[in-house]
Amino acid sequence: MTRRTDKPAPSTLLPAELVRAVFLDRDGVINEEVNYLCRPDEFRLLPRTASAIRDLRRAGFRVVVVTNQSGLARGYFSPDDLDAVHERMHSELARARTRLDGIYVCPHHPDDSCHCRKPGIRLFQQAAEDLKLRLDQSYYVGDKLTDLIPGKTLGGRTILVLTGHGQREQELARQQSFQPDHIAANLYEVAEWIIHEDSPGL
């Protein structure tokens, strides 16, 4: 079972008007990495994260979180705990005058062989159905290669951030000859790069 913890914004777009998204991992990308984060008071936005999300949405992108949360299957925290963490995230972003367009969660253990756990693509496909997204023209951002592999599979562009586990994963990418389309120090630099790439005539 996949879990989405908020309702997508209503969409009246026709198929020909499908929009693009920036898909973000959560831990180590939006907020400080905490092993099996389960308490709202441990949630801390990384610097300039809210500004990055606000700028991306102003540029016309949907901003969607896709996150593996095996702590649910492991019994480390409950669905209510997860919801409380996400409520904290929503409130901090709202304080900064921005928001997410959706949160999609895989609650399964890595050994469950589900189709929604990244690097699987099921949650991205679900987001595309809900929010009328063009997956092949979207961006996929994370601090692990498992966050980026779906982007390669779906024909989008991938960006590794060096926050969270990013520096370790950068070395792993070199060893595996995995080439992200871009590497950025943090999410704010990600947003700057995407917006610049998307600007006509630049």
For the question of residue 143 being annotated catalytic, the response is no
> How far is it, in rounded angstroms, from Cα 39 to Cα 51?
24
Those residues whose C-beta lies under 8 Å from the C-beta of residue 83, and which sit 6 or more positions away, are 5
Catalytic residue (choose from 25, 101, 143, 147): 25
25 in catalytic set: yes
* Nearest alpha carbon to residue 104 among 150, 44, 48: 150
C-alpha distances in Å from residue 116, one per residue of 108, 121, 123, 134, 160: 8, 6, 5, 19, 21
Catalytic residue among 6, 27, 112, 143: 27
**Contact, 107 vs 1, CB < 8 A?**
yes
Catalytic site positions: 25, 27
